[in-house]
Structure 1
Amino acid sequence: MRILVKLTAGLLLAASCMAGAASAQTVLRSSDTHPDGYPTVEAVEYFGELVKERTAGRYAVEVYHSAQLGEEKDTIEQVRSGVIELNRVSMAPFNGTVKESIVPALPYLFRSEEHMHKVMDGAIGDQIKTAFEGAGLVVLAYYDAGSRSFYNKQKPITSVADMKGLKFRVIQSDIFVDMVAALGANATPMPYGEVYSAIETGVIDGAENNFPSYDTAKHFEVAKNFSLDEHTILPEVFVMNKAAFAKLTPEDQEIFKQAAKDSVAKQRELWAAKVSESRAKVEAAGAKISTPDKQGFIDAMKPVYEKHVTDPVLKKMVEDVRAVQ
């Protein structure tokens, strides 16, 4: 009888341990500089919901929006070192680390958002994904960030001549610094979270970004002149620490990849709606939208390409991008 009781207790304990193991959950942290409700934040949250559902709760994703874990430069290092597992960040800050990421950051390379989608969803996008692995990262998805344009507190910009002498905040990327210099203005690389106060206090005259960022960061309050020059159509990148990804089973890796792919469609839908909403909001608040003659801006970019597209691999990529119809 004692033996039977011991056996029963042992079986119950084993079953309890197995149940505990089965219900154990691995929580992955993801960073984003944008506020709660922003399309990229919602897309990563949607990714997390799909992962949780498709792994029967074995994995969950916590999204830290509003730069809670730091600005982009800091969180890039965190995800590369494995301090955090996931990160949604602009492509441009990787230009000095992953040379292939230079191509999507080049001004006036993409003809439209549709052109960018075809490029990033195809072989060129896959080539860039492979290159990121050398930096210890796995690219799970490319998200939309629309077109970036200049805005400032001083005056409307209708031509390249209007750019002369103005000070603009740019992403921490040499391409962006050189792009602004080629237009006769002065570039100041600066964390995203410092831009509002820098414009307000006159440290800079303005910045460059898309309508949703211009809106949600409230830059329209301090820089009323928005020039729709659309110099870059720069995709965002959603990355995972390579070592963390490698720890997943092959089945779970496929789940993560498919969840990320599904989140792209969600993000693009949210993005299109947000662009329209944000433009209407800033115009209602008094922002003045001007549309300059882009050809002068395009012509001014020759030295930027001459400096940054010297590698044969990058030259071929630029040709391939332009050939995509």
Structure 2
Amino acid sequence: MKKKALAILMVMISAVLLLAACGKDEKASGSSDKKGSGKTVTLKMAENQPDDYPTTIGDKAFAKLVEEKTDGRYKVEVYSGGQLGEETNTIEQVQLGSIDLARVNASPLSQFSKTIGVTSMPFLFTDEEEKWEKLNGEVGRELLDTLEESNMVGLAFYDSGERSFYDTKRPLKKPSDMKGLKIRVQNSEMSISVVEALGASATPMEYGEVYSSLQTGVIDGAENNFPSYYTSNHYEVAKHFTSNGYTGTPEVVIGSKKLWDSLSDEDKKAFQEAALESVDTQREAWAKLTEESKKGSRKSWKQNC
């Protein structure tokens, strides 16, 4: 009887050990399969410009490169036209991790990193070559890294051209012509300080509100690059464009810290490489649109003379 009980006990122990081993193998296999199973993690990227705008074109190039470099494990869906909110709102959502990625201007980011606000300083670089050598190099990397303190990760800078003033009232031939004008600016201390130093009243507001505000007289003018001035139809209501290119605040591709912490070191490298490699595509699209915008604006001005 004792031998029979012992035999049954040994069979039960063997069965338990066998099940444990199978469970361990199955778990390891499942972990391995997850990486090579073809499952894709889909990420959301916010963009407030239209689908065919240079920054959106850059976003899409970035998305394509991410998918290629991660062997399809990550897919980035670009939501253009402000579908996920205006810039300030999307920055906050990236901080919270409710949006994975976004393309925003460096100016509103200065609220979260005063260091990156240096890119808005007037006449900061001597020429385009110096500008992109710095932004794509170690200096740019150091600036982007300052965003980590605010739960964001900076991946790359995009081109946003040179910003100039335009208004509904009068040609701006000298600094004193700015006196008394209400000028829309991005929500940053640097932008506000520059406009107020010129004697105008700085009025921070979201980009999507500018056209109607110019039209109704809530503001007298704004400052932006030629493509934004043209594609947003601001030239229809603000006929006076002063081409001084006083600042060239770049755009920034950012990611949430939540997303970043979930990536392996290999995937982090893939995302960074994808962002940097997409810069050339974005800048080429920017140069093309700038020329088209200048021609379109000049044609409109002549027709209205």
Note whether the superposition's TM-score is higher than 0.5. yes
In 2, distance between residues paired with 1:112 and 1:207?
24
Match of 2:148 among 108, 116, 133: 133
Partner residue, 1:197 = 212
Matched, 1:78 2:93: yes
The correspondence of residues 191-270 of structure 1 with structure 2, limited to 5 A, is: 191-270=206-285
Residue-by-residue CA offset, 1:246-296 (whole Å, 9 max, x unaligned): 2112221111111111101111111111111111111111179xxxxxxxx
Quote how far apart the aligned CAs of 1:95 are. 1.4
2:180 pairs with one of 165, 168, 189: 165
Residue 170 of structure 2 corresponds to which residue in structure 1? 155
- SS in structure 2 of the partner of residue 124 of structure 1: helix
Q: 1:26 deviation in Å?
A: 0.6
Is this contact kept in 1: 2:144–2:156, CA < 8 A? Answer: no
Q: Give the superposition deviation at 1:60.
A: 0.7
- Unmatched segments (≥5 aa) in structure 2: 1-25
Contact 2:136–2:156 (CA<8 Å) still a contact in 1? no
Give every structure 1 segment of 4 or more consecutive aligned residues whose post-TM-superposition deviation is greater than 6 Å.
none
Separation in 1, partners of 2:117, 2:272: 24
1:84-143 Cα offsets, whole Å, 9 max, x none, are 000100001121221211211112222233222122122221211221111111111100
Partners of 1:92 and 1:271 lie apart in 2 by 19
Once residues 217 and 158 of structure 1 are traced to their aligned partners in structure 2, the CA distance between those partners, rounded to angstroms, is 24
- Take 2:302 and 2:255, find their aligned partners in 1: how far apart are those partners? 38
Q: Does 1:179 align with 2:179?
A: no
Structure 1 residues 157 and 50, CA gap change in structure 2 (3 angstroms): same
Match of 2:79 in 1: 64
Distance 2:92 2:128 in 1: 29
Say whether the 8 Å CA contact 2:226–2:290 is kept in structure 1.
yes
Structure 2 equivalent of residue 46 of structure 1: 61
SS of equivalent residue, structure 1 residue 102: helix
Tell whether the 8 Å contact from 1:110 to 1:232 is kept in structure 2 after alignment.
no
Structure 1: stretches of 5+ with no match in the other structure: 1-10, 289-325
Is 2:116–2:144's contact at 8 Å kept on the other side of the alignment?
Answer: no
Tell me the SS of whatever aligns to 2:115: helix
Q: Name the counterpart of 1:115.
A: 130
**Structure 1-normalised TM-score?**
0.81
The residue aligned with 1:276 is 291
Deviation at 1:20, TM superposition (A): 10
- Give CA deviations for 1:6-48 in whole Å, capped at 9, x if unaligned: xxxxx9xx99x94897121111101111111111101111111
| Matched AA of 1:82 | G
The 1-side partners of 2:201 and 2:227 are apart by: 24
SS of match in other structure, 1:37: coil
Kindly report the root-mean-square deviation, in angstroms, between the aligned alpha carbons of the 2 structures.
Answer: 1.9
Percent of aligned positions with the same letter in both sequences? 44
**What is the count of residue pairs matched by the alignment?**
275
Secondary structure class of the residue paired with 2:125 = coil
Structure 1 or 2, whichever has the larger Rg, is 2
3-state SS, counterpart of residue 254 of structure 1: helix
8 Å CA contact 2:166, 2:221 repeated in 1: yes
Distance 2:125 2:201 in 1: 24
Task: Give the letter for the 2:127 counterpart.
Answer: S
When residues 25 and 200 of structure 1 are mapped into structure 2, their CA distance, relative to the original with a 3 A threshold, is: same
Report what 1:300 is aligned to. Answer: none
Q: Is the 8 A contact 2:107 2:120 kept in 1?
A: yes
